[in-house]
Structure 1
Amino acid sequence: MPTVRSASSLIAGVLAIAAGAASAAAPAAPDVTGHQAQIDKIVSEISPQRIEGYVRKLVSFQTRHTMSETESDTVGIGAARRWIKAEMERCGAQSGGRLQVAFDSHVAPVSARISRPTEIVNVVATLPGSQPQSKERIYVVSGHYDSRNTDVMDAKGAAPGANDDASGTAAVMEMACVMARYPFDATLVFMTVAAEEQGLIGATHWAEQAVQKKLNVAGMLTNDIIGSSRADDGRIDDKQVRLFAESIPATKEMSETVRALVATGGENDSISRQLARHVKEVGERYVPGFKVSIVHRRDRYLRGGDHMPFLARGFAALRFSEPNEDFAHQHQNVRKEGAMQYGDLPEFNDYNYIARVARVNAAALASLSLAPAAPQQVQVRTDKLDNNSTLLWLPNSEPDLAGYRIVWRETTASQWQGSLYVGNVTEATVRLSKDNYFFGVQSVDKDGNASVATYPAPLR
């Protein structure tokens, strides 16, 4: 079998043997680190001014509490969801009608935070994929449009919710309106969900329906409290966003997949951590000077968000949040005590900051939906003691596939450190020991769009 040399490796002298390669020369590698013109255009079109307009309109409904007014056209959650739907429909019409906007509704029974049976309505805008072999693969991005004040059961008091979570809702709306003008291989779902504050009810309903319908949700991003760059002590940090990524799910029983992760030391290689690596790499490439800080937790300490119902059902899911929360402007009745203004008001948001977070989201979603699906059934051979590592995987049938890329990092590293394009093969050997490195395999298309990496399970 021929030997090819890595041009992009961070470890000098690494060689690989690619099964089925046509010649001894290295296969021509698509540029996976350059900029795609379409993604650059999308990122440049995200507008902080439009985002601010969306936030202020949402605040104008006075409260968006899950059990608030539904008949009024100016007050309450009913008016809010009808306006969101109409706005997304307007954007869809301006973009050729490909954006499909609908209500996703169900009635929630009485529970700890629902005092009467209540209709819960998500607003879902779907941009179908344009490539037949890829369109069943779905990427979801969400924000929650409901709000609350100090008393989570108060459905009538003012609850502007400018940061929590009009910021995330506005980011999702802006992404939908911009990205609807462009084609993608896979399907994108832009979702504003209800009843997050009452127990993640809207997101749970959609995630459970996805399971029942056997939807191929390849990744989910939620944006919750992405509005402020100012900490409670006045510090400004507008150069980073936190990205929460779960490792091993907190379940009573381990699945076989999780068991294989633990057995091989791959706790940092869960599907959500792999998604987070991809989002960080792409987001920082397209939004220079802005850091995506991966937090090795599923959410803030003992807290939660709308990605959690997706995690619970086995989907890769992540949460974006600002670096420092100011709790005087979160879950607080609007009031003034001395010189201190309390309440989640729009003047405490940084709209340029929200736009940067939205750009990271948009770049990652565009990259994922243009790239081929991640390789399936990736395995590493373990049938003999060897200081080389042989990986194999199933072939991808998407028409724009160019080949595959092996990535690796030392066992003490969080991000990929080296890579090798091996061409359109289904088995390759790298001269690095599986004892000392973690590996992944990515699918790469002819334009250089790379998938999320797949961690190899042991082939015994």
Structure 2
Amino acid sequence: MRNILIAVAAATVAFPAAAHDHHGDPGLEVSEERLRADMDTIVGFGTRHTLSSQTDPERGIGAAVNWALAEFGRIGDACDDCLEVLPVGRIVEADGRRIPQDTLVRNAVAIQRGTERPDEVIIVQAHYDSRVTDPLNGTDDAPGANDDGSGSVMVLEAARILSQRDYPSTIIYALVTGEEQGLYGAGILADWVGEQGMTVKAVLNNDMIGNSCGSDGFCDAEHVRVFSEGLRADSTEELRARQRRFGGENDSPGRNLSRWLNDVAEDYPNGMQVRQIWRTDRMGRGGDQIPFLDRGYPAVRVTVAVEDYEHQHQDLRVEDGITYGDTVDELDWTYLTRASQLNLRALDRLARAPMPPSLDANGIVRTDTVLTWNGVEGASTYVVMARRTNEPEWTQDVAIVNYETSSGTRPITPMTEREHSFVSPLRGDDWIFGIQACGSTPNSCSPFSSAVPGGAFYPLDVDNAD
């Protein structure tokens, strides 16, 4: 139960009851039949190893990427060419480790341009390549059903469903390769997004979302894990010094994106729920969210609640009575469908939500806290919340500032054309403050950004970053 604090500054503040309008829920449109059909096609390429054939028309990574590009094209045909489809890639030079010779790393990408803020993007991605035990084996069969055919079929299904709707922000659907060789495809895509001058609101990296039982027999069909970094990967010595003094260890944009995903899941109590894991990735492991984090973009990894290591990165074989290999028959289709539904619900909200504002909190030598932020395009309402410094989640309502006279609240006068201010009676030493921006449609509120060093949803080298 949230404790409600009504504070009045330059606006009349009210706390309306939360309204969860599930009309038009895109999650309900997810088709297990389509997921299965796409999976059959994908594993039918035999191997999708990054070092496999680029030219064979039926087998290997070249044929697989060509099919994905064609499938994105067919999806675009069904929405009056609403998708821009392109292979984002480059030649990766031999690295002496998992790229033994110069290799083409090619991603299949489809872009659904936003109708109002086309340079503000959400990326949903999965890695398309597969492998067996030896990371350099590009010839043996590597079905890669769960790792990461499961994420790949979800991305295709998301494109089919969401491309039938218009959104203010841009959605990028990406099947990246080179993950098993060193996260190369995601790095190429992250660089390309930066070169296009895009503002990245969120990256949802889905890597293994298709099984519910682990190697030890423990099963959890009710949760996905969401991994998020604490300290920003693009941090600087100056930022770390400021965080030591003012906080921010638990308030990276990725961490707040994780909190937001948990809230989205809780709006659907019968749907897939989120178990937040507050580390960048699994112990000693990595994923395609990392290249985006390295460049300062908000990103999380969505993955199974428990892992089955006998059916991950394994040669196809039976040994001591145990069957190894990442095959279709090991998938939990109900689990994959529910994980896909969660992704579509989150993407739908993110694409309608404005960009999270940057918030500043000044409580130095005072008994209250002055909160200031710059307005963001597409926002009609700002929600300010707080939490005790030792609390994990936003618990304290501070203010709802609404600029629409039709809402019944009195619009405030901005300090400048873009800058707004609000005074909270909460003492700044004891609380961490966050703000989200909401659009004009139901369930269109952004993740929170935190009023701490490094809390803004922008790379640190961007002019309007924290």
Q: TM-score, normalised by structure 1?
A: 0.90
Map Cα deviations across residues 22-42 of structure 1 (whole Å, 9 max, x no partner). xxx54585x65412523x1x1
Could you tell me which of 419, 423, 428 is aligned with 2:422?
428
Amino acid at match of 1:254: E
2:119, 2:197 within 8 Å by CA — same for their partners in 1?
no
1:210 shift after superposition: 2.3
The answer to whether structure 1 residue 123 and structure 2 residue 137 are counterparts is no
- State the match for 2:160 in structure 1: 177
Q: Distance in 2 between the 1:150 and 1:168 partners?
A: 20
Q: How many residues align?
A: 435
Deviation per residue, 1:268-317 (Å, 9 max, x gap): 11111111111111133146343211101000012100010000011111
Give the equivalent residue in structure 1 for 2:68: 84
User: SS state of the match for residue 91, structure 2?
Assistant: strand
Which residue number in structure 2 is paired with residue 6 of structure 1?
A: none
Deviation at 1:259, TM superposition (A): 4.2
| Structure 2, gaps ≥5 residues long | 404-411, 413-419, 454-466
Matched to 1:285, the amino acid is: D
Equivalent residue number for residue 3 of structure 1: none
Residue 15 of structure 1 aligns to a residue in which SS? coil
Aligned partner of 1:244 in structure 2 is: 227
Q: Secondary structure at the match of 1:305?
A: coil
Q: Distance between the aligned counterparts of 1:452 and 1:375, measured in 2?
A: 10
Q: Tell me how far apart the structure 2 counterparts of residues 383 and 249 of structure 1 sit (CA, whole Å).
A: 25
3-state SS, counterpart of residue 384 of structure 1: coil
Post-superposition offset of 1:186: 0.4
SS at match of 1:136: strand
Letter in 2 for 1:116: Q
Equivalent residue letter for 1:120: V
CA distance in 2, matches of 1:62, 1:396: 47
| Residue of 99, 102, 119 corresponding to 2:86 | 102
Structure 1 residue 413 corresponds to structure 2 residue 398: no
**Cα contact 2:265–2:271 (8 A) shared by 1:** no
What is the rounded CA distance, in whole Å, between the counterparts of 1:417 and 1:166 in structure 2?
A: 38
Identity across aligned pairs (percent)?
A: 33
Q: 1:314 to 1:217 in 2, by over 3 A?
A: same
SS in 1 for 2:42: helix
Distance 1:148 1:215, change over 3 A: same
What TM-score, normalized to structure 2? 0.89
> Does the 8 Å contact 1:442/1:451 carry over to 2?
yes
For 2:177, the equivalent position in structure 1 comes to 194
Letter of the aligned partner of 1:440 in structure 2?
Answer: G
Measure, in 2, the Cα distance between the counterparts of 1:303 and 1:129.
34
Pairwise CA distance, 1:264: 1.9
Question: Aligned with 1:55: secondary structure?
Answer: helix
Question: Does the alignment pair 1:395 with 2:380?
Answer: no
Structure 2 CA distance for aligned equivalents of residues 331 and 61 of structure 1: 17
2:150–2:209 CA contact under 8 A, matched in 1: yes
- State whether residues 287 and 360 of structure 1, in contact with CA within 8 Å, keep that contact through their aligned partners in structure 2: no
Contact 1:144 1:192 in 2 (8 A): yes
Contact 2:385/2:395 (8 A) holds in 1: yes
1:252/1:135 Cα in 2 relative to 1: closer, same or farther (>3 Å)?
closer
Task: Measure how far apart 1:99 and its partner are.
Answer: 1.5
Contact in 2 for aligned 1:261/1:270 (Cα 8 Å)? no
Using the alignment, how far apart are the partners of 1:251 and 1:391 within structure 2?
A: 25
- Cα drift, residue 265 of structure 1: 2.3
Which of the numbers 256, 260, 283 marks the counterpart of 2:265?
283
Partner of 1:456: 451
Alignment-mate amino acid for residue 21 of structure 2: H
8 Å Cα contact 1:287-1:356 kept in structure 2: no
Equivalent residue letter for 1:245: S
Superposition map of 1:9-408 within 5 A: 10-12=2-4, 14-19=5-10, 21=11, 25-26=12-13, 33-38=19-24, 40=25, 42-111=26-95, 112-131=97-116, 134-249=117-232, 253-254=236-237, 256=239, 258-286=240-268, 288-376=270-358, 378-386=359-367, 388-398=368-378, 401-408=379-386
Shift in CA distance, 406/304, structure 1 to aligned 2, threshold 3 Å: same
Distance 1:288 1:260, change over 3 A: farther
Task: Give SS of 2:3's match.
Answer: coil
| Structure 2 CA distance for partners of 1:170 and 1:102, relative to 1, 3 Å | same
Q: Is the 8 A contact 2:83 2:110 kept in 1?
A: yes
Partners of 1:354 and 1:124 in 2: how far apart?
22
Unpaired runs of at least 5, structure 1: 1-8
